[in-house]
């Protein structure tokens, strides 16, 4: 397990940030690691992961920031502790930065200590694809947006109850919509998602028993 990174130890330039994915290791002997001991599927560009919903990269270059483009389309990793949502405690919805598909909710967000936004489950399991990733000489589980094929991050079995999972996601793949803006933004049907009691959400997001591996 890698030591926790702190702001003063994180690399600055984007070129170094793109290599941080090598620090994202699953726990030894974990179910995810064992399940991945099958022949590797080739790692495809994000826009090719779902041919029916492939997006135009040229158009995305105009719409997204350089970092957003590198993360979503080229599976880059943003710097930990220096990204938009790792320390965001506001109530609201996290959607795909490309097409606005609901992906994660603040109710399911927890502080993993990794420096990236972490969630113990998605809003709808059908909105994401979990794919074997053998890049950087490791076996991991990549998390991809189903509709756009955007790279989101990776999945690890070291999260809190009730799922025990940690969806370690790049802020650059997401757009945050505060709960007060959901109705006008067209997400009114998801308002009941945020009616969970604060105590229930707090219990569900108890800290993991051990420090999670870094992204």
Q: Which residues are catalytic?
A: 168
Q: Are 72 and 144 in contact (CB under 8 A)?
A: no
Question: Phi/psi of residue 205, each to 5°?
Answer: -105, 35
Gap between the Cα atoms of 78 and 16, Å rounded: 9
Gap between the Cα atoms of 134 and 123, Å rounded: 26
Gap between the Cα atoms of 165 and 97, Å rounded: 23
- DSSP state string for 33-90: HHHT-SPPPP---GGGSSGGG---HHHHHHHS-HHHHHHHHH---PPTTSSSSTT---
Gap between the Cα atoms of 205 and 138, Å rounded: 28
């Amino acid at each position: 397990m890698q030591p926790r990174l702190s702001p003063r130890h994180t690399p600055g330039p984007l070129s170094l940030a793109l290599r941080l994915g090598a620090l994202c290791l699953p726990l030894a002997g974990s179910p995810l690691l064992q399940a991945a001991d099958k022949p590797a599927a080739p790692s495809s560009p994000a826009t090719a992961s779902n041919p029916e919903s492939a997006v135009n990269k040229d158009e995305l270059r105009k719409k997204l920031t350089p970092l957003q483009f590198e993360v979503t389309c080229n599976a880059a990793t943003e710097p930990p502790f220096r990204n938009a949502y790792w320390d965001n405690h506001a109530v609201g919805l996290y959607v795909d930065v490309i097409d606005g598909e609901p992906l994660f909710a603040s109710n399911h967000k927890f502080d993993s200590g990794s420096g990236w936004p972490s969630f113990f489950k998605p809003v709808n399991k059908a909105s994401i694809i979990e794919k074997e990733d053998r890049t950087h000489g490791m076996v991991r589980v990549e998390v991809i947006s189903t509709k756009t094929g955007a790279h989101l991050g990776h999945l690890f079995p070291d999260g809190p109850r009730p799922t025990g999972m940690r969806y370690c996601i790049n802020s650059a793949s997401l757009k945050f919509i505060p709960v007060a803006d959901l109705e006008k933004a067209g997400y009114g049907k998801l308002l009941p998602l945020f009616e969970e009691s604060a105590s229930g959400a707090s219990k569900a997001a108890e800290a993991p028993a051990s420090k999670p591996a870094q992204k």
